[in-house]
Amino acid sequence: MSDNSTNHLRTTNIHPLFWSDAEAAPFENCINCKMNLPESNTPYLIEKAVRGFDGEKVTATIFEYAVCVNCAQEMNLKLSKGSRERIESFFKERVNFQQRFNQLRDQDDEEWLRRCLVHHEEVNEEGECQLYALCQGDQMLYQEFPYMIRTEALDEMMDLLSAETLRQLDDFKDDLIDGPSEFKELLKKGGPKVLL
């Protein structure tokens, strides 16, 4: 996003959609370094894979986590250079973050999340998607984030990744899953993907 967008940064209290469903409360710790996120001044990312989403409520959460930006950058650098470059090109070609920010900056959270960032389509009752937010302390930051990506767009991105990168993401995903066995089976069969 261009520098002038940062002059118009918007913040709100973290929307309950981005709370931990397991705790029914805001995330407290980075999944990697265990830093206390609300008390820290360090920005952090939240990612949730969900089934059934209409912009306001989720039918089921498959996995969720919060990670501080320092750990996210470390993890991102472990991915192959080619994979990182291809994903960056994918977003540059398909998403105009500045234009999106200008259109949505005064809108409710639901409008930021209702349509896929890439395909601009909603998710049906049975559909799957992933939700992303950037937070700091107890605030959610609005610039490139928050957004929703449908599974179909994530599959397109996964096709751009090297075998080594896919293995690393799958290993990380396996560590995240602590839910019903049907979700573990779904993930083994190529379900939601972790995308740092």
Mean pLDDT, rounded, for 35-62: 92
Mean pLDDT, rounded, for 85-105: 92
Mean pLDDT, rounded, for 22-47: 94
Instruction: Give the mean pLDDT of the chain.
Output: 82
pLDDT at 40 over 70: yes
Other Cβ atoms closer than 10 A to 74:
14
User: What does the pLDDT look like over 1-23, one tens digit per residue?
Assistant: 333 334 457 899 999 999 999 89
pLDDT at 190 over 90: no
Sole residue written with tokens 């370094």? 33
Mean pLDDT, rounded, for 103-120: 92
CA angle 111, 87, 64 (to 5 degrees): 55
pLDDT at 170 over 90: no
In the prediction, which pLDDT does 165 show?
76
pLDDT at 32 over 50: yes
Mean pLDDT, rounded, for 124-150: 92
Tell me how far CA of residue 162 lies from CA of 5, 80, 87, 141, 190, in angstroms.
Answer: 33, 7, 11, 31, 16
Q: Which helix (H) or strand (E) holds 188?
A: helix 181-188
CA angle 174, 196, 132 (to 5 degrees): 105
